[in-house]
Amino acid sequence: MIELPALVTLLTVLLLFGTMFVTGKARGRYDIKAPAISGHPGFERAYRVQMNTIENTVMFLPVLWLAATHGFGGLWAGVAGLVWLVGRSWYALAYLNDPTSRSGGFVVSMLGWAALVVMAGIGVVRAMMIG
């Protein structure tokens, strides 16, 4: 079921696009001229959501695919990836509305990521011992 991690990857790209779009829209709404990255709190929240999502995606995608291709298959890796995706989406929406309410989404996304790290680690070590 390698299709589920592929779907999660596609949805992650759409999440990245969404955060980019919201940041660009906030730049226009609050008249923040490039290359400035500060000014109005609404823009700064959108920018932090975008940057935090990019930072997390860099750690997320490699372990998603390592877990999916090294012994845990697409189902379990895909489910953990969906947990990460739901958590990151929750985090983004909460942060945009009230930065103090972002912790629930952060925790959920980190649980999905941690599960993938464990799966990837076990799968890679197992593959090294067999091959």
**How many C-beta atoms lie closer than 10 Å to residue 125's C-beta?**
12
What pLDDT score was predicted for residue 54? 98
Helix/strand/coil for 40: coil
Task: Read off the pLDDT of residues 14-72 as tens digits, 9 standing for 90 and up.
Answer: 999 999 999 999 999 999 999 999 999 999 999 999 999 999 999 999 999 999 999 78
Residue 76 reports pLDDT greater than 80: yes
What pLDDT score was predicted for residue 80? 98
pLDDT band at residue 127, thresholds of 50, 70 and 90?
very high
**C-alpha gyration radius of the chain:** 17
| Cβ-based neighbours of 59, under 8 Å, separated by 6 or more | 113
Q: What is the DSSP string of the chain?
A: -THHHHHHHHHHHHHHHHHHHHHHHHHHHTT--TT---SSHHHHHHHHHHHHHHHHHHHHHHHHHHHHHTTSHHHHHHHHHHHHHHHHHHHHHHHHH-GGG-HHHHHHHHHHHHHHHHHHHHHHHHHHHH-
What pLDDT score was predicted for residue 88? 98
Return d(Cα 35, Cα 118) in angstroms, integer: 39
What pLDDT score was predicted for residue 71? 77
Return d(Cα 17, Cα 51) in angstroms, integer: 12
% of the chain at pLDDT higher than 90: 95
